[in-house]
Amino acid sequence: MKRVILTIIMFSILLLTAYCSYNFGSTIGYKTGYKDGYEAGYTAGNETGYIYGSQTGFTRGYLIGFSRGNETGYFAGYLNGNETGYNLGYRIGFRDGEQRGYERGFSAGYELGYSNGFETGNATGFNLGYETGYLQGVIDGAGRGFTIRDPTYNEAMNFVKIDQTDKNEYVEGVYTCINFAADFKMNAFNAGYRCGLVYIEFIQGAHALVCFNTTDGGLIFIEPQTDDMMRVEIGIRYWNDNGYTCPWNDTIIRYIIIW
């Protein structure tokens, strides 16, 4: 009987020991397995999640970034391209337009200028040629001795234009104002016009010029050295009051006309 009880006690102790060992081993194994499983699962899940997340994030980020970048780039490119294209187009268009405008303007201006110039030149040349030819015809037909006359105002001014006395060179003591006046007077006589030699006395010095007694404009005075029309009156300054500069006193005190 004691042996049976002892056996039961020993068996119970074994069962209790086994149970305790099981619980202890189970707890330790669970913790160890949980830890190892957690780490393995975390690593595997992390890698898998990273791959899927990276792919998904890349795709969404690419689409959003592409859309925004495309929109931003479009506007920036549009503005830059528009400005660059406008400037380039303006320069090319301006150059072409300027060239075409110049060609058309030159052509139109040339035609108008030629037409106006031809009409004016033709009229002026005709009048001058007519008067010169008429005078020469009278001289050749009748001789100068009977045709010396006072010119009209236009005849006098036309003669001044064609006469070359003003081209002569002034040489002090050799060819001076009296020589200019004498040559001009002789040329007018040869052309059939009566021309006066005018001798002027100043407060300081004297001077010689010429004049015409025109039939329609009266007496006019001409400076043969310059072909300018001059004022000649007692009391005025000959050079200064006719637009020139004279350092000495050129006030006219008297003058005479030799026809």
For the 148-258 domain, the top CATH level (class) is: alpha beta
Q: Give the phi and the psi of residue 163 in degrees, each rounded to 5.
A: -70, 140
pTM for the predicted model, two decimal places: 0.46
Looking at per-residue pLDDT, the higher value among 3 and 173 belongs to 173
Q: Residue range 198-218: average pLDDT?
A: 96
- Give the model confidence (pLDDT) of 85-107 as tens digits: 667 676 777 777 777 777 777 76
The domain locations on the chain are 148-258
Q: Which of 68-72, 99-103, 117-121 has the lowest mean pLDDT?
A: 117-121
- Whether the predicted pLDDT of 127 surpasses 60: no
User: Which pLDDT score is estimated for 113?
Assistant: 64
